[in-house]
């Protein structure tokens, strides 16, 4: 009996903290193509745990954006904020096993204690102030009179992991960020923990996302190891940048998919742009499904994708 490998399970994991833009569209299309082209599943997860940054109504917008692009997904979306029991269990397990500890430092405490913000990504390294300081979360809160968060105890040393696109990658979380939060002082579970727990419980086997998250992968690998969870395959794709080489962000309001939708842009022009900038041969209008028979991720260029003003103008003017 021949056994073929089980079909891959990919995912789209948008956060309703800002409007999705052309860069998100390209990463999501790539994740969708990469999974679907091999008969795989694609799941949707709404990453809405950061209550301070989540904006009402944006989940509806992003669902409309995905549908507009022609992307579908399998099953019901997992909305992270609706069920945090698994996150609580994971944080408790780390605490119980001494792999995490309570921290009562405010953001300002951390900034004052740290030598300098990490130059590359503006992250501040946590200097370990509360390591070994408190016996339990309850004791931490009682003794400090403040709410406590929970930090993962990052082992010293470099973390090596394999990116399916870029090969061997190495990061040094102990030096880059130090012990990082898995639960925040406001009670919200942190992104790093949520990704790891939810990828595992959704059965995700492939994580294809923007390469701004590559340094997070080492942290997620450490958490997976600590919690005994499987490692997915990782693929980090280059970001879309503006003419000055800066990654697309909220300040580029005109690249929001919601604006293009409202203007009546043909989404097939956006899909064709995403395909061509990913090295695929494509006509100038395309649905995601039309590319499936010939999608080849090996053709993806591994450098940032500049979005010239002229290209953006052309996309915006495309009418069905």
Among 12-20, 154-162, 227-235, 301-309, the segment contacting ligand GLU (CB under 6 A): 12-20
CB of 250 to ligand GLU, least distance (A): 13
Q: Closer to ligand GLU by CB, 15 or 35: give it.
A: 15
List the single partner that 129 binds among ligand GLU, Zn ion, none, CB under 5 to 8 Å by kind: Zn ion
Q: Binders of Zn ion among 125-144, rule CB under 5 A?
A: 129-130
Q: Rounded to an integer, what distance in angstroms lies between the CA atom of residue 238 and that of residue 15?
A: 19
The count of chain residues that interact with ligand GLU, using the rule CB under 6 A, is 7
Among 7-15, 86-94, 127-135, 165-173, the segment contacting ligand GLU (CB under 6 A): 7-15
Contact status: 15 vs ligand GLU (CB under 6 A): yes
Q: Binders of ligand GLU among 180-239, rule CB under 6 A?
A: 195, 209, 213
**C-alpha of 12 from chain center:** 9
Q: Closer to ligand GLU by CB, 13 or 275: give it.
A: 13
Contact status: 47 vs ligand GLU (CB under 6 A): yes
Longest dimension (CA), the chain: 65
Q: Closer to ligand GLU by CB, 10 or 288: give it.
A: 10
Q: Which residues belong to the active site?
A: 250
Among 8, 10, 14, 215, binds ligand GLU (CB under 6 A): 14
Among 10-18, 73-81, 126-134, 311-319, the segment contacting ligand GLU (CB under 6 A): 10-18
Among 13, 66, 69, 140, binds ligand GLU (CB under 6 A): 13
Binding residues (CB under 6 A) for ligand GLU: these are: 13-15, 47, 195, 209, 213
Binding residues (CB under 5 A) for Zn ion: these are: 103, 105, 129-130
């Amino acid at each position: 009996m021949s056994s073929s490998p089980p079909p891959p399970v990919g995912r789209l994991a948008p956060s309703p903290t800002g409007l999705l833009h052309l860069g998100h569209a390209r990463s999501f299309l790539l994740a969708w193509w990469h999974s679907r082209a091999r008969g795989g599943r694609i799941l949707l997860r709404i990453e809405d745990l950061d209550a301070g940054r989540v904006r009402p109504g944006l989940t509806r917008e992003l669902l409309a954006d995905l549908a507009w692009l022609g992307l579908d997904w399998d099953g019901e979306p997992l909305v992270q904020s609706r069920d945090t029991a698994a996150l609580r269990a994971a944080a408790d397990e780390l605490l119980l096993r001494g792999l995490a500890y309570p921290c009562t430092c405010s953001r300002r405490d951390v900034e004052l204690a740290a030598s300098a913000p990490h130059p590359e990504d503006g992250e501040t390294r946590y200097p370990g102030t509360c390591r070994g300081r408190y016996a339990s979360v309850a004791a931490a809160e009682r003794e400090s009179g403040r709410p406590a968060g929970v930090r993962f105890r990052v082992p010293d040393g470099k973390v090596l992991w394999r990116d399916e696109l870029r090969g061997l990658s190495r990061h040094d979380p102990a030096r880059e960020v130090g012990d990082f939060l898995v639960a925040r002082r406001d009670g919200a579970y942190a992104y790093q923990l949520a990704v790891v727990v939810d990828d595992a419980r959704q059965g995700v086997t492939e994580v294809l996302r923007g390469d701004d998250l590559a340094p997070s992968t080492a942290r997620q690998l450490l958490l997976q190891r600590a919690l005994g969870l499987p490692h997915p395959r990782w693929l980090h794709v280059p970001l879309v940048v503006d003419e000055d080489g800066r990654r697309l962000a909220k300040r580029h309001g005109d690249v929001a998919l919601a604006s293009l939708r409202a203007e009546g842009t043909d989404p097939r022009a956006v899909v064709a742009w995403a395909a061509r900038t990913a090295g695929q041969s494509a006509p100038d209008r395309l649905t995601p499904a039309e590319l499936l028979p010939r999608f080849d991720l090996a053709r993806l260029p591994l450098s940032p994708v500049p979005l010239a003003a002229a290209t953006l103008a052309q996309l915006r003017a495309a009418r069905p």
